[in-house]
Amino acid sequence: MDIKEYINSGSVEMYIMGAMSSSEQDEFEQNLLLYPELKREYLKAQGTLNDYAQAHSLNPRPELRSKILDSISAENKSTTKKKVIKLRENPSLTYKYMVAACLAALVISTFASWFFYTKWDCAEDRYTALLNDKNQLAVNYNLVKMEFDRNSSDLMVMRDFESKVIQLNAIDSSRNYEARVYWNKNTREAYIDVLSLPVPPENQQYQLWALVSGKPVDAGIFDMGDDGIQKLKDIDKADAWAVTLEPKGGSITPTMNQMYLLGKNS
């Protein structure tokens, strides 16, 4: 390498001013060790900048001299002292760190316990709530299923081709009482569908009668309050139907003045 050329290329100035890339810097520092001439130029350039800095000197207050020099002496003493103390300080410092670490671990684990306990508690509550919901759903399902079963069997009766539908109307025409009888001649099954009747007193019940040539035959007692149709006694023959109010348990013969409904086979 021609070191003169290297110097003339401005390498020294660029290095001093930080204008070199890091690989150029490395190369320069290598050359500094190899070429005394380069080193001389380098020190000269530094000297130039130093002169420039000296040219901008500013005298500090005279009091500052003793203050700074004293602080250095004080620092001197305290550093020598520190070295002695350090030997004793180190283990206690380690101990302190260990205690701090333990405390930190304790705090973290306490927090974690509390956190997971809350989560668990919450999950437990939700589980119970879910269980209740599930039970409620099962109950609802059973209710709906029962209702459905009954409705569908009612519907079977009503839709049966062989079933006769007899409309029963109020004897007292000022009242809107009514009921329907479904009667299957082949199977002899009779059903009643109460559409509107007054609620009977505690000790009385309604009774259905099948009339055969004007003679009443007991077709069974029934209660109010149940939706849908009720199956009563099997009947062989009938040409008309009547409902009377009888003492609880029913009567052998109808109480004629307590007749509520009457209807003929169509």
Partner 1 sequence: MGRRTKIEEEDLIQLLTAKERRGIEILYDNYSAALYGVVHRIVGNDEIAEEVLQETFLKIWNNFGQYDSGKGRLFTWMVNICRNLSIDKVRSKEFVNQSKNQSIDNVVSLSDYKSSYNPDLIGVRDIVKKLEPEYRLIIDLLFFQGYSQSEAAEKLNIPLGTVKTRSRAAIQRLKNYFDPE
- What whole-number distance in Å separates Cα of residue 17 and Cα of residue 126? 72
Please give the distance of CA 179 from its chain centroid, rounded to a whole number: 51
45 binds partner 1 (CB under 8 A): yes
Quote the least distance from Cβ 97 to partner 1, whole Å. 26
Please give the distance of CA 255 from its chain centroid, rounded to a whole number: 65
Percentages (nearest 5) of helix, strand, coil residues in the chain? 55, 20, 25
Contact of 171 with 261, CB cutoff 8 Å:
yes
Quote the least distance from Cβ 50 to partner 1, whole Å. 5
105 binds partner 1 (CB under 8 A): no
- What whole-number distance in Å separates Cα of residue 78 and Cα of residue 86? 12
- Out of 2, 53, 84, 173, name the contact with partner 1 by CB under 8 A: 53
Choice between 19 and 112, CB closer to partner 1: 19
Stretch binding partner 1 (CB under 8 A), from 14-22, 118-126, 133-141, 234-242: 14-22
- Out of 30, 50, 78, 187, name the contact with partner 1 by CB under 8 A: 50
Quote the least distance from Cβ 47 to partner 1, whole Å. 7
Choice between 61 and 159, CB closer to partner 1: 61
* Surface-to-core class of residue 74, CB atoms within 10 Å of its CB (0-12 exposed, 13-18 middle, 19+ buried): exposed
Quote the least distance from Cβ 89 to partner 1, whole Å. 20
Choice between 63 and 202, CB closer to partner 1: 63
- Out of 36, 60, 247, 249, name the contact with partner 1 by CB under 8 A: 60
47 binds partner 1 (CB under 8 A): yes
67 binds partner 1 (CB under 8 A): yes
- What whole-number distance in Å separates Cα of residue 261 and Cα of residue 58? 129
- What whole-number distance in Å separates Cα of residue 178 and Cα of residue 122? 57
59 binds partner 1 (CB under 8 A): yes
DSSP state of 56: T
135 binds partner 1 (CB under 8 A): no
Choice between 44 and 145, CB closer to partner 1: 44
CA torsion angle 182 183 187 188 (round to 10): 130
Choice between 73 and 173, CB closer to partner 1: 73
Stretch binding partner 1 (CB under 8 A), from 57-65, 99-107, 179-187, 232-240: 57-65
* Token duo for residue 143: 């209710």
- What whole-number distance in Å separates Cα of residue 117 and Cα of residue 143? 39
- Out of 4, 26, 30, 64, name the contact with partner 1 by CB under 8 A: 64
Beta 163-170 vs 204-212: how paired, if at all?
A: unpaired
19 binds partner 1 (CB under 8 A): yes
Handedness of CA 119, 123, 129, 132 (dihedral sign): negative
Interacting residue ranges for partner 1, rule: CB under 8 A:
10, 12-14, 16-19, 33, 42-61, 64-65, 67-69, 71-73, 75-76, 79
